Amino acid sequence: MNTPAAGVGNPAGKPAAPVKKAAGRNLELPEHLKAYKGVWVFLEHDRGHVHSVSWELLGEARKLADTLGSNVSVAILGGPNEPLEQFAAEAFAYGADKAYVMHDAALLGYRNEPFTKGLTDLVNRYQPEILLLGATPMGRDLAGSVATTLATGLTADCTALNIDPTSRALAATRPTFGGSLLCTIMTLAYRPQMATVRPRVMAMPPSQPERSGEIVQETLGMVETAIVTKLLDFIADANSNKINLPYADVIVSGGKGLKHPDNFRLVFELARVLGGEVGATRPCVQAGWVEADRQVGQTGKTVRPRLYIAAGISGAIQHRVGMESSDVIVAINTDPNAPIFDFAHYGIVGNALQVLPALTQAFAEHLALRGKQAA
């Protein structure tokens, strides 16, 4: 169905072009949104450290901008004395061309209201075509309110980002229907096109320290009394640093094939010898065998270790999407037809209760020998 455009953003006074509609929804970009250009990444930082997901997103932003023939910018919001310019320099090394930096006392520590105002103001002023955020607790919170304020589309937890060759729109792919299907979503008639991506889904881009860029200083223009939420104190979660699956180099994961929670001890022993972390499938977490922070998969963590050992894991799609980017996958399973053997690099058809201790012993002996040779 074709209907006339509302005439918004038609400064030349020309008659508005008809807008294509499907089932009541616009499929064509209105004239006033065609000025939106460039790919932006919201740079997430906390107490002096930039979250790695921001660098991972910059790698993707660079590829998208190169396809579109446009530039990459970062939005960095923080307190008066936070090293935002230093973060900008790092962002240039990871592929950004420009950094919009906003220092304000109200931006010291994340709160939704000032960050939403700061980011939406920047977007309205500089009109980026694409805006990417990490699917972290902060990124998810901010992306939702920014998209709502800007009345634009947001695709959450994407696993792939591309440019659609026909429409030149962001083609954001994410799992759907419980992870059994992947769907690609495009925001055709609104700008910016927003997407969030979980940590470790995208590869880390190489750092090019010789790259530089332009820093643009911006102001928030919001008074503290206008902000309902107050940040009184920061209390670190005593357990938050104990399990860090997404950034572990080695992960040994166990599944229901281990049969009994006590047998997870074998997984922990191998992980300890290899200096790695312990992961698990969802049924193991649901059965209370291990903590929820250890779950790998669609509703757990996305991991990208150099070595992933899967013991007694069938390789269901919901588990696979969380670990298939691992450099080397070794699967131990009694069933030679288990789906995990379709994508594992090395397969051991055998009983994990026997194979795990054998591997632990072999690695321990090998590493001890290497230690002696190095001494």
| Binding residues vs ligand FAD (CB under 6 A) | 178-179, 255-257, 281-284, 295-300, 312-314, 316, 318-319, 322, 332-335, 338, 351-353
Closest approach of Cβ 287 to ligand FAD, in Å?
Answer: 10
Q: In degrees rounded to 5, what are phi and psi of residue 138?
A: -70, -45
- Tell the smallest beta-carbon distance from residue 303 to ligand FAD (Å): 11
Provide the greatest CA pair distance for the chain. Answer: 81
- Closest to ligand FAD by CB, 147 vs 270, is 270
Decide whether 116 or 136 has the Cβ nearer to ligand FAD. 136
Considering the complex, state which of residue 134 and residue 179 has its C-beta at the smaller distance from ligand FAD. 179
DSSP β-ladder status, 49-50 and 45-46? antiparallel
Closest distance to ligand FAD from the beta carbon of 257 (Å): 2
Rounded to whole angstroms, how far apart are CA atoms 347 and 243?
27
Q: Which is nearer to ligand FAD, 139 or 322 (CB)?
A: 322
| CB closer to ligand FAD out of 28 and 157 | 157
Q: Which is nearer to ligand FAD, 171 or 296 (CB)?
A: 296
| Cβ closest to ligand FAD, residue 206 vs residue 336 | 336
**Least distance (Å) from ligand FAD to the CB of residue 313?**
4
Min CB(259)–ligand FAD separation in Å: 6
Helices 112-126 and 137-150 pack at an angle, to 10 degrees, of 50
Which backbone phi and psi does 322 adopt, to 5 degrees?
Answer: -90, -10
- Pick 39 or 316: Cβ nearer ligand FAD: 316
- Alpha-carbon separation of residue 108 from 46, 82, 121, 228, 232 (angstroms): 9, 8, 18, 15, 12
Q: What's the closest the beta carbon of residue 245 comes to ligand FAD, in angstroms?
A: 12
For the bound state, the minimum distance from the C-beta of residue 268 to ligand FAD, rounded and expressed in Å, comes to 16
The distance of closest approach from Cβ of residue 295 to ligand FAD in the complex, given in angstroms and rounded to an integer, is 6
Smallest distance from ligand FAD to CB 365, Å = 23
Q: Between residues 180 and 244, which has the closer beta carbon with respect to ligand FAD?
A: 180
